Amino acid sequence: MNIKGIGASKGIGIGKAVVLKAAEDKGKFVDKRILESEIEKETDRFNKAVADTAKYYDEIIVKARGVLKEQEIQVFEAYKLLLNDPILMDMIADFIKNELLCAEGSLIKAVEQVKSMFLALNDEYMRQRAEDIENVGKNIFMSLTGNMPADLSNLYEDSIIVAEDLSPADTVSLDRRHVKGFAVEKGGVTSHTAIIARTMEIPALVGCGSELKKINNGDTLIVDGIKGVLIPNPEPDVLKEYLDLQNEYNRQVEKIKSLKDEPSITLDGRKVLLAGNIATPEEANEVLSRGGEGIGLFRTEFLYLNRDNLPSEDEQFEAYRKVAEVMKDRPCIIRTLDIGGDKQSALLNIPKEENPFLGYRAIRICLTERDIFKTQLRAILRASAFGNLRVMFPMISCIEELREAKAVLKEAMSELDERNIQYNKDIEVGIMIEVPSAAISADILAKEADFFSIGTNDLCQYTLAVDRMNEKITALYNPLNIGVLRLIKNVIDAAHERGIEVGMCGEMASNPEYAVLLIGLGLDELSMVPASIPYVKQAVRNISFERAANIAKTALSLGETDKIINLLKEESNAY
Ligand code: PEP
Ligand code: MG
């Protein structure tokens, strides 16, 4: 029987099932006693499980570099520290020796006690530590029971990974040559698994439910990420049909990728600049290889993460110059430091906050830590002598902040003048529109900014009051909500009224169906993960601006999200 899921990453994957085992039932170990003569053996068994768990974390950390965010990697560093935690470890040794509990039972009891101690302190930080202890306990338990996650880094045949859910640890270690698809019980399209699958361009189904438990290792599986269905052990004719479909789909993808050198213009000749979002200078090459015509967002905060000192002016200058030189005269928007929210750095000593997304982040930090801000601005200005760089401030919520940031930029310019250093004195200065107050007052901001870039990732979460990290409420996080669309329209109209350019660098811009609406609303530039550029280019080239504008008008008049979704689906099928 076929199993329905949510298509989270398009394409068709065919391979043998590799089922990730769920952890064994803990209950049966809780009261399991040992003999006094078994104490040493049980202690050795426990110590070996801890050593294996440490090795497992080490492997993850190595594989995760460059794949996961620094914050996610640090989780495993913290777990490793807990493996040496004397309170936890002494307690377990004591339970084995003095209460004659088996290693698993001792572990379960100690984890429960330490967790309760932390939770009793009623402090957010301690609550987090309690969760960490729980996770580390789970991993030691899996090691003790011989259930360590399957080694997905060395698969020998085309495989489909089947699991309740995939953790960052599972996904970083995937053998990319042989993983042809994922199917998981949990999650929605914005879940971590879904995002990684899209980034890796692997067909994936999420939200398949408990039906997935019927799949056995070695079953032949077809993941249809387009229709959202999993086909176990297909009949030969179905398999043949899907092999043909897969070939056809792959041909289409190659065809789309071959649009790389074609211009990004609508059927009636309107230019829409397609640019890439990057986090490291090296990714600029990827933007060019996918046919991108600029950098719409360089998330410079990644230069500040994963290290124990601040990047110097020279180091930053080299990074920005590299981008400028790779991209030659193409426009490159360098966004100033956007730390805070989900991108925390130990370097800046930001105290833990109740609401980090509403707290001390981005431009708010830069306007307080002037030296850090000015160092970055000098580095950007110096690099502006080597290409077509623009500077952009994140999280601007009012005109006063923009003025203050521009005043600091002026100071940075004067300092370079004193040092007789060359830079582009007319560098364009823009802002991200990602706070609702900025979107509503875009007409005022447009008078003093050279360009806008709409950051829908944050604009959506602030407009809809939906935390972008909270999976329980992802269904509410929809950029096609009419409230968000009206704000976007307001920003575009205000920018054009003042004759300044307006782009979008939030995830919304990477969806070809949405792109049509955004073009119709009048955006000048769309910036996205490099892999999405060819798909959006195809959408641009297949529609006239006149038609896109009509679609946008209809969408705004429909008002209801579901109706807007259907409209865009129908329209995308029409060409
Ligand atoms: C955004 O908020 O849309 C954006 C592009 O910025 P970030 O995702 O880095 O917060
Ligand atoms: Mg943002």
Q: Give the domain ranges of the chain.
A: 1-20+150-241, 22-144, 264-574
Beta bridge partners of 275: 527
Which CATH fold would you assign to the domain 22-144? Enzyme I; Chain A, domain 2 (1.10.274)
Write down the pTM of the prediction: 0.68
pLDDT at 309: 84
Tally the residues of the chain.
Answer: 575
- 38: tokens are 């078994």
Beta strands in 97-219 (DSSP E): 159-163, 179-184, 204-206
> pLDDT value at position 268?
97
Q: Is 178 a catalytic residue?
A: no
Question: Which of 175-189, 300-314, 481-495 reaches the highest mean pLDDT?
Answer: 481-495
Q: Could you give the CA distance from residue 199 to residue 363 in angstroms, rounded to a whole number?
A: 29
**Is pLDDT above 70 for 67?**
no
Ligand 1 binding pocket (C-beta < 6 A) is 297, 299, 338, 434, 455-458, 505-506
Helical axes 124-144 vs 103-120, angle rounded to 10°: 170
* pLDDT at res. 154: 65
Mean pLDDT of 397-402: 98
**Residue carrying structure tokens 């807990």:** 82
**pLDDT tens string 354-394:** 888 999 999 999 999 999 999 999 999 999 999 999 999 99
- Asked whether the predicted pLDDT for residue 143 surpasses 80, the reply is yes
Q: Which letter does DSSP use for residue 300 in this model? A: G
Best of 342, 458, 466, 532 for a ligand 1 pocket test (most atoms within 8 Å of beta carbon): 458
**Is 505 among the catalytic positions?**
yes
> Mean pLDDT over all residues of the chain?
90
264-574 — its CATH code? 3.20.20.60
If one residue of 299, 342, 463, 488 were mutated to test the ligand 1 pocket, choosing by the most ligand atoms within 8 A of its CB, it would be 299
Of the candidates 432, 379, 382, 427, the residue with the CA atom closest to the CA atom of residue 402? 432
Helix or strand holding residue 16 (H, E): strand 12-19
pLDDT, mean of residues 71-87: 85
pLDDT, position 303 = 87
Ion ligand 2 residue ranges (Cβ < 5 Å): 434, 455, 458
Q: Ligand 1 atom closest to Cα of 506?
A: 3
In this prediction, what percent of the chain has a pLDDT beyond 90?
63
Residue 71 pLDDT greater than 60, yes or no: yes
pLDDT at site 352: 81
Strand 179-184 to strand 159-163: parallel, antiparallel, or no bridges (unpaired)? parallel
CA distances from 20 to 3, 170, 183, 421, 476 (A): 18, 10, 11, 58, 31
The whole-number pLDDT of residue 175 equals 76
**C-alpha of residue 292 to centroid of ligand 2, in Å:** 21
Q: Where are the beta strands (DSSP E) in 402-516?
A: 429-433, 451-454, 501-504
**Residue 22 pLDDT level (bands cut at 50, 70, 90):** low
pLDDT at 199: 66
The 10s digit of each residue's pLDDT in 150-174 is 667 667 789 999 988 776 556 666 7
Q: Looking at domain 1-20+150-241, does it have CATH number 3.30.2010.30?
A: no
Please tell me the distance between residue 201's alpha carbon and the centre of ligand 1 in angstroms: 22
Query: H helices of 348-398, where?
Result: 363-366, 370-383
State mean pLDDT over 31-44.
91
30 confidence band (pLDDT: 50, 70, 90) = confident
pLDDT band for 7, please (50, 70, 90 cuts): confident
pLDDT at 301: 86
319 vs 302, more confident: 319
